[in-house]
Amino acid sequence: MPSIRFLISNEKQLFIAKYIGLFSVTELMELTQMIWNDPDYDEHHDYILDITEAHFKITSQDILNLVKFFNLEMKAIQGKGAVVVVQPIYTAAISILSKKATDYTGNICYSNIEGACLAMNTPVEYFQQLVHLEKCKMIEL
């Protein structure tokens, strides 16, 4: 069952999330909508996404569908971001998505949390709060 643990800091203007499990594109879009509906969500925040424990059932058509989804939604995140990824195919997909999505200011892929946090000027300890369920929000299907 796919899930996303996330924290939103309006003080730090930062959204951080850890994706866990096997995601179809439909599930990814559905969970993303749930995040966008969170009252604390702000699309102008910067972000760090960790997808090292996620797997995606994705085709080239799915990438195009994701581009359309993010381009049509006014709540799509627009801040700068870092994505922690270890699978090369996902790095390629993220690169394509970033180039095709109109409102993205861009995101950079990192192979570890430390690099992403350093790039986003965020202490690693802040990101590590995602392992404590009482400190973060979690959505799942």
Q: Phi-psi category of 111—alpha, beta or left, where left has phi over 0 and alpha has psi -120 to 50? A: alpha
Predicted confidence band of residue 23 (pLDDT cuts 50, 70, 90):
very high
Q: What is the pLDDT of residues 51-107, one digit of tens each?
A: 899 998 888 888 888 878 877 776 777 788 888 888 766 766 666 666 555 455 556
Q: Provide the residue range defining the domain that includes 94.
A: 3-140
Domain count within the chain:
1
Q: Give percent of the chain above pLDDT 90.
A: 28
Query: What CATH number is given to the structural domain containing 93?
Result: 3.30.750.24
> 12: how many CB neighbours lie within 10 A of its CB?
16
